[in-house]
Chains A and B, each alone.
Chain A
Amino acid sequence: MTEKKTPFAAATKLAEQTAVILMRGEINQDADAALTATYADAAQMQPATITLDFGGVDYINSTGIALIVGLLAKARAAHIPLTAVGLSDHYREIFTITRLSDFIEIQ
């Protein structure tokens, strides 16, 4: 099949008190392991906030939304606020429709 798949990849960097999770590719079922591991790295840094950088993400499906819900649940349990940057207008709207934007600050 010649679909244009972009494998998911994620990395973490700490800027002041904020851990930034840089993501690229597709957030779908295949992103689960990498996203979970990267979030664990970020949480270990004991940041004041975690920023999810969606600048390199070109596709998020409903399974990807579920993964973000899972991250949000972990962050809330650890009392770490989440913010999101780099979302396209379309995915901003999806974050609004799903009410994720009620719990994640969209910048």
Chain B
Amino acid sequence: MTTFRGFWRNKTTMEPAATVTAVANTPTTELIPIDLEIASNDPLLAYIQQHPTVFDVTQLKLDSPAVTAMRQVGIRLVVPLVSQGELIGLINLGERMSDQEYSSDDHKLMSDLATQAAPALRIAQLVQQQKLEAIERERIAQELRVARLIQQTLLPQALPALAGWGVSAYYQPARAVGGDFYDFIYFPDGKVGFIVADVTDKGVPAALVMATTRTLLRTAAERLESPGAVLARTNDVLVQEIPPKMFVTCFYAILNPATGHLRYANAGHDVPYHYTNQGVVELRATGMPLGLMPGMGYDEKETTLAPSDYVLLYSDGLVEAHNPAREMFSFTHLQALLATHADGATLHEFLLAELAAFTGPAWEQEDDVTLVTLQREETVNSNQLSVNSEPVEFEIPSGPGNERVAMERVAELVGDWLPAPRLEKLKTAVAEATMNAMEHGNQYDPDKPARLKLFLDETATSTGSVRVASVRVTITDQGGGQPSPAAATPDLAAKLAGEQSPRGWGLFLIKAMVDEMRVHQDDHHHTIELVMHLADQEEA
């Protein structure tokens, strides 16, 4: 039962004359409010529930604050208005204007009036309630329209167009409009930032926090190169502005499209997956969500996408979707699905079909579903180097161990041109030269790749035809300006005696493995050129 309030008194009449409704309202009268409120736990209401008939307040023996108040404002007769067993109002009458007592006929008249008035009042109340609900529904609908508009305005209008890369994005808001967003940031040096984030809460508040966060991330990314530093800076500003109990999870990565190198940091967002031809790897990096506490640090990690690798960024709307049995789609299920799907271009279609099959047709989407995929395309010139083909060029990001990637790629490209023993020699020479380029030339800076270029050199034969004379590989680093050491023969005896470092075999090995070795350099680059003659093998 609710509290009754909002009683009015006829100003032109002598006290008491208070009613809740049905007070004659002539041009000479004016209704003014009286200070009377019946609390929901007042014994009077329990009494009326048990005796829903007209009663005289002055005759009522009840320890009730409401009754006391009624007497004080001059109420004499109370007429309960009951509809379908529910008390929906009271008609309160003061003393009769004739100064006579209320008669039994008066009581019956008021009782009949209440019987007629109560249903009408109830209908009026319901109409009013429906009007209020309609207004509330329209307010919510309007809020959703605004939230969607904000969200659509913030999402990128176009996908990054990167040579050698395929980028795709999918965003499906839940009915209630969640707080997902994604963004791309383009840097002058060609790198691209990828953001996927999820704001707690829904509707306009989430959309506004989303807009703020996006701006803060972009501002920080303009000034700071490190993804971890960008998240830390964003967090420190956002924590001062975000409403209580709201926060933002966010994954931020910077891709160097030239090398496939990806640096990333994570503020409590769902861990992205990196598809490689050897399995699916989680891109883990620890960090608290944005906006919870100031002074947070964010781990920064890195990886490199090889040709055909892809990375999937996503939001919890996918992994936390439920099927009719209330089971979750789950991270492990997602990871297992990715392991079966190598094509990043059709990944979203594939995952959405799997999601639909999992949830069933009656599923009402619980949260926003966001998917962003970046896939490094297969290198166009990945086949064998052939006669009349253009030289093949590729890059290897500088990092310990990556020389083996260079070595294997070269073997794939020229394997048909060299017998196995000579191919092994070239592989060793390429590995050593690439290692030197990455370590000494590029200081293992992953943004400074070693660049390899392969040629088939042709020569004219005595019969006038043209044949391939040699396989040539150049390996270039970005460490020019300093003279290269000569390929001296190491003194093993001195090394064994401890008079020299046991190291220093690289250049010696390279020179010993190939038929020709040449070194070129300018102010910015250092190139080593390796040649294997095919004529030599024919003669051998």
**Which A residues contact B (CB, under 8 angstroms)?**
1-5, 26, 28-30, 59, 61-63, 65-67, 69-70, 72-73, 76, 88-90, 94, 97-100, 102-103
Contact = CB atoms under 8 A, between A and B. Distances in A.
Contacts of A98: 490, 492, 505, 508-509
Given A69-B495, A94-B428, A100-B492, A59 B404 contact: yes
A61 B397 CA distance: 19
Contacts of B401: 1, 3, 5, 28, 30
B503 A4 contact: no
A29 B501 CA distance: 15
A4 B404 contact: yes
A69 B505 CA distance: 11
Contact of A103 (B400, B402, B404, B496): B496
A80 B9 CA distance: 117
Interface stretch (B51-59, B88-96, B301-309, B519-527): B301-309
A61 B502 contact: no
Interface string B497-509: 1100111111011
B402 A1 contact: yes
B495 A73 contact: yes
Most chain B CB within a 10 A radius of its CB, from A3, A63, A88: A3
A61 B431 contact: yes
A100 B492 CA distance: 8
B502 A62 contact: no
A62 B509 contact: yes
B136 interface: no
B503 A2 contact: no
A1 B303 contact: yes
Contact of B512 (A4, A5, A69, A97): A97
A5 B278 CA distance: 11
Given A1-B402, A28-B401, A94-B509, A70 B502 contact: yes
Interface string B263-305: 0000000000000111000000000000000000000000110
Contacts of B495: 69, 73
B424 interface: yes
Interface in B207-244: none
A26 to B, nearest CB: 8
B405 interface: yes
Nearest to B307: A2
A15 B505 CA distance: 33
B492 A90 contact: no
B512 A61 contact: no
Nearest to B435: A61
Contact of A2 (B306, B399, B428, B497): B306
B432 interface: yes
Per CB-CB distance, the 8 closest pairs between chain A and chain B, nearest first, are A62-B505, A69-B502, A90-B424, A2-B306, A66-B503, A66-B502, A62-B506, A3-B405
5 contacts: A1-B304, A1-B401, A62-B435, A66-B505, A103-B492
B425 interface: yes
Interface string B442-453: 000000000000
A90 B505 contact: no
Contacts of A65: 505, 509
Contacts of B504: 66
A5 to B, nearest CB: 6
Interface in B382-434: 397, 399-405, 408, 421, 424-425, 428, 431-432
A26 B401 CA distance: 10
Contacts of B309: 2
Contacts of A100: 492
Contacts of A70: 502
Nearest to A102: B492
Contacts of B512: 97
A90 B427 CA distance: 11
Nearest to B309: A2
Given A62-B505, A62-B509, A3 B492 contact: no
Given A29-B400, A98-B490, A90 B425 contact: yes
Nearest to B509: A62
A49 to B, nearest CB: 17
B408 A62 contact: no
B428 A90 contact: yes
A28 B405 CA distance: 15
A1 B504 CA distance: 27
Contact of A73 (B277, B278, B397, B496): B496
B404 A3 contact: yes
A61 B506 CA distance: 8
A99 B425 CA distance: 17
Nearest to A99: B492
B502 A73 contact: yes
B353 to A, nearest CB: 27
Contacts of A67: 502
A88 B428 CA distance: 13
A2 B505 CA distance: 27
Contacts of A90: 421, 424-425, 428
Given A66-B504, A76-B496, A94-B428, 11 more contacts: A1-B402, A2-B278, A4-B278, A4-B408, A28-B401, A59-B404, A61-B432, A66-B502, A66-B505, A90-B421, A98-B492
A62 B432 contact: yes
B510 to A, nearest CB: 9
A98 B490 CA distance: 8
Nearest to A59: B404
Interface in B293-339: 303-304, 306, 309
A33 to B, nearest CB: 15
A97 B501 CA distance: 18
Contact of A1 (B397, B490, B502, B505): B397
A70 B405 CA distance: 27
Contacts of B278: 2, 4
Contacts of A66: 501-505
